[in-house]
Amino acid sequence: MTAFAERLAAAVRQQKTPVVVGLDPRYENLPTSLQSVEQGQNPAHRASAYSAFCRGVIDVVAPLVPAIKPQAAFFEHLGPAGASALADVIRYARDRGLLVIVDGKRNDIGSTAAAYAQGYLGIASAWGADALTVNPYLGDDSLQPFIDTARANAAGVFVLVKTSNPGGGRFQDLVADGEPIYRHVARHVARLAAEDAAASGFGTAGAVVGATYPEQLAELRGIMPQSWLLIPGYGSQGGTARDVAAAFRSDGLGAIVNNSRGIIFAHRRAEYSERFGESRWQEAVEVATRQMIAELRSDTPAGAL
Amino acid sequence: MTAFAERLAAAVRQQKTPVVVGLDPRYENLPTSLQSVEQGQNPAHRASAYSAFCRGVIDVVAPLVPAIKPQAAFFEHLGPAGASALADVIRYARDRGLLVIVDGKRNDIGSTAAAYAQGYLGIASAWGADALTVNPYLGDDSLQPFIDTARANAAGVFVLVKTSNPGGGRFQDLVADGEPIYRHVARHVARLAAEDAAASGFGTAGAVVGATYPEQLAELRGIMPQSWLLIPGYGSQGGTARDVAAAFRSDGLGAIVNNSRGIIFAHRRAEYSERFGESRWQEAVEVATRQMIAELRSDTPAGAL
């Protein structure tokens, strides 16, 4: 099977956009037709509502974008029933040709990290994801099982480098040996990516870099020239197309930009709620997706795709 | 309900030991009576074997130790079937009076961190854990939802400070403003713990500190005087009772010491395999648990319990 970095490049080129749709289901925000007054507190009901909702989003976005990013936390929030819904959503998305990046921010040490990696990465794994986000705090040896397993299964890894939250700098920005911690992490990711960069120029090791820090995006693009950057923080968190422009190579590859609430809960946004209402929520998803695609085409090198 | 730090102190005093049994099931290491030649590759079978195995361990250790620590990775490795097994094991352990610390090393930002926290922490949550391990890389604002949710639900949080793996220092030991990163994290944990330290002297915010770095254990005990320390790395990873002695207060409280493989797979250890064999694996679990309890009573302040 073709390496993940190459499959991602092909999918971005085919859809002519780097937009990733984040699946962050929250029961209170679902269209009312999927909520139940009697069953609202039942985790099994909530999980099946999450499945139905995410399938509905996938039906809309599969022809438009290269990948989706389910957020493990919102599924795990429901307990085991949520885990089943997550597996269902991953399978449904893959069957429709989408790449699936599970946002789990997992990590542990040694053989425990390997258990996570083997459980999530690759079509033959239990969860069957194409890629997983991982946390670097436990060190380089904790990242290695993810990289090794990803390479063996044509899957990808996105290492948290610089996160989009206001307090992300609390430890990431501490300066050691003249460089902030996030840059130490970035240099390690860059070395890993260089080890197996393929035709597109990208390797297995990607990075998560928040849209909310535009200068650091440019800096990190430079430090990790062979890494795909997964960029959260667009839209609801304040990141704009101009903010993320520096994350791309001139050919429009190299970065994928996630939007969760701004797309999946578009029916709740002021500009769409009146136009579509609750019942036409899927049309709101489509319009919001197309709008973000247009923004990135107009204001970033993604226009060259 | 009484705060987690107080419940942990009471449980450690009642059992007169700080030993925590780590539940890290791996199919290949299970007693052969729980393995199946025909069904060995089936995740549903593996999950039910994990449940049966962990229940068997819990039956043995519930009268002996204050807490168990299921490792989420090994359950998730099986996909959704593993998630159901984990939920079963948590419930079974709590019903037998054990405190349950889920080792998930979770984190994310803002409301996503809150989703993890609300899903795991407290008896009324979907998973029903008493405590959860969390990763600090995303910053202080990413830790806060766990602390807040834990406080509201009489649950606990163990923040990764210094991990037990060989490469743990790769980023944790980088020196910023004259102090390694792990110490910056430790000072933040100490501040959180001081905010709500109760009668026993401990607060909601605990820390994970590896047994494999004895000098740092002493240093971190000093920096976080009001935090429970969860210490992995005992036994299979090389940590000894003497190595962890400095983690305790003089009254024997303040640290809990985890052993996973050395206890649950004791039937595979050279010193027990001949004596008990596969079929008497539960006796091996009991003897290994009692041996570790004796080691800690003899060589650490836990003898004062």
Per-residue pLDDT of A13-56, as tens digits, reads: 999 999 999 999 999 999 999 999 899 899 999 999 999 999 99
Sign of CA dihedral B299, B303, B304, B305: positive
Distance from B129 to chain A by nearest Cα, in Å? 11
With contacts defined as CB-CB under 8 Å, which chain B residues touch A83? 79-80, 83-84
* Cβ <8 Å between A165 and B110: yes
Angle, CA B230 vertex, CA B205 and CA B25 arms, to 5°: 125
User: Which of A26, A69, A161, A170 is the best residue to mutate to test the B interface, defined by the most B CB atoms within 10 Å of its own CB?
Assistant: A170
With contacts defined as CB-CB under 8 Å, which chain A residues touch B80? 80, 83-84, 86-87, 126
Higher pLDDT, B278 or A133: A133
pLDDT at A212 over 90: no
Which residues does A202 contact at the CB level (< 8 Å), separation at least 6?
A5, A6, A8, A9, A193, A226, A227, A228, A253, A254
Query: Using CB atoms, which residue from B80, B164, B185 is nearest to A80?
Result: B80
* Cβ <8 Å between A139 and B171: yes
What is the structure's pLDDT at A214? 87
Query: Using CB atoms, which residue from B77, B86, B116 is nearest to A118?
Result: B77
Question: In this prediction, what percent of chain A has a pLDDT beyond 70?
Answer: 100
CA-only gyration radius of chain B, Å: 18
What is the structure's pLDDT at B214? 87
What is the structure's pLDDT at A86? 98
Distance from A127 to chain B by nearest Cα, in Å? 5
What is the structure's pLDDT at B86? 98
How far apart are the C-alpha atoms of B130 and B98, rounded to whole Å? 9
The pLDDT-based confidence of A237 (bands split at 50, 70, 90) is confident
* Cβ <8 Å between B77 and A176: no
Question: Could you report the per-residue pLDDT of B128-139, keeping only the tens digit for each?
Answer: 999 999 999 999
What is the structure's pLDDT at B31? 96
Mean pLDDT along residues A292-299: 98
* Cβ <8 Å between B136 and A175: no
With contacts defined as CB-CB under 8 Å, which chain B residues touch A174? 174, 176-177, 181, 184
Q: Which of A16, A69, A105, A162 is catalytic?
A: A105
pLDDT at A137 over 90: yes
How far apart are the C-alpha atoms of A228 and A36, rounded to whole Å? 40
Cβ-Cβ pairs closer than 8 A, A with B, add up to: 200
pLDDT at B212 over 90: no
Higher pLDDT, A245 or B215: A245
* Cβ <8 Å between A80 and B79: no
Question: Could you report the per-residue pLDDT of B244-295, keeping only the tens digit for each?
Answer: 999 999 999 999 999 999 999 999 999 998 999 899 999 999 999 999 999 9
Report CA-CA distances (Å) from A187 to A82, A133, A232: 36, 17, 20
Sheet holding B175-176, edge to edge: A179-180, A175-176, B175-176, B179-180
ipTM associated with this complex: 0.97
Mean pLDDT along residues A293-304: 98
Mean pLDDT along residues A69-89: 98
Which residues does A179 contact at the CB level (< 8 Å), separation at least 6?
none
* Cβ <8 Å between A77 and B172: no
What is the structure's pLDDT at B139? 97
Query: Using CB atoms, which residue from A24, A115, A171 is nearest to B137?
Result: A171
Distance from B194 to chain A by nearest Cα, in Å? 19
Q: Has B69 been annotated as catalytic?
A: no
What is the structure's pLDDT at A230? 98
- Of B112, B139, B108, B134, the closest CA to residue A166 belongs to B139
pLDDT at A12 over 90: yes
Question: Could you report the per-residue pLDDT of B226-253, keeping only the tens digit for each?
Answer: 999 999 989 877 889 999 999 999 999 9
* Cβ <8 Å between B86 and A80: yes
pLDDT at A236 over 90: no
Nearest CA in chain B to A175: B176
Nearest CA in chain A to B88: A80
With contacts defined as CB-CB under 8 Å, which chain B residues touch A142? 163, 165, 167-168
The pLDDT-based confidence of B100 (bands split at 50, 70, 90) is very high
pLDDT at B211 over 90: no
* Cβ <8 Å between A105 and B106: yes
pLDDT at A78 over 90: yes
* Cβ <8 Å between A86 and B73: no
With contacts defined as CB-CB under 8 Å, which chain B residues touch A129? none
What is the structure's pLDDT at B1? 85
Would you tell me how many other CB atoms lie within 10 Å of the CB of residue A40? 12
With contacts defined as CB-CB under 8 Å, which chain A residues touch B260? none
The pLDDT-based confidence of B213 (bands split at 50, 70, 90) is confident
**Contact between B227 and B247 (Cβ < 8 Å):** no
With contacts defined as CB-CB under 8 Å, which chain B residues touch A29? none
With contacts defined as CB-CB under 8 Å, which chain A residues touch B109? 163-165, 168
* Cβ <8 Å between B139 and A170: yes
* Cβ <8 Å between A166 and B43: no
3-state secondary structure chain B: CCCHHHHHHHHHHHHCCCEEEEECCCHHHCCHHHCCCCCCCCHHHHHHHHHHHHHHHHHHHCCCCCEEEEEHHHHHCCCHHHHHHHHHHHHHHHHCCCEEEEEEEECCCHHHHHHHHHHHECCCCCCCECEEEECCCCCHHHHHHHHHHHHHCCCEEEEEEECCCHHHHHHHCCEECCEEHHHHHHHHHHHHHHHHCCCCCCCCEEEEECCCCHHHHHHHHHHCCCCCEEECCECCCCECHHHHHHHCCCCCCCEEEEECHHHHCHHHCHHHHHHHCCCCHHHHHHHHHHHHHHHHHHHCHHHHC
Query: Using CB atoms, which residue from A116, A137, A169 is nearest to B171?
Result: A137
**Contact between A99 and A125 (Cβ < 8 Å):** no
Question: In this prediction, what percent of chain A has a pLDDT beyond 90?
Answer: 93
What is the structure's pLDDT at B251? 97
The pLDDT-based confidence of B28 (bands split at 50, 70, 90) is very high
What is the structure's pLDDT at A211? 86
3-state secondary structure chain A: CCCHHHHHHHHHHHHCCCEEEEECCCHHHCCHHHCCCCCCCCHHHHHHHHHHHHHHHHHHHCCCCCEEEEEHHHHHCCCHHHHHHHHHHHHHHHHCCCEEEEEEEECCCHHHHHHHHHHHECCCCCCCECEEEECCCCCHHHHHHHHHHHHHCCCEEEEEEECCCHHHHHHHCCEECCEEHHHHHHHHHHHHHHHHCCCCCCCCEEEEECCCCHHHHHHHHHHCCCCCEEECCEHHHCECHHHHHHHCCCCCCCEEEEECHHHHCHHHCHHHHHHHCCCCHHHHHHHHHHHHHHHHHHHCHHHHC
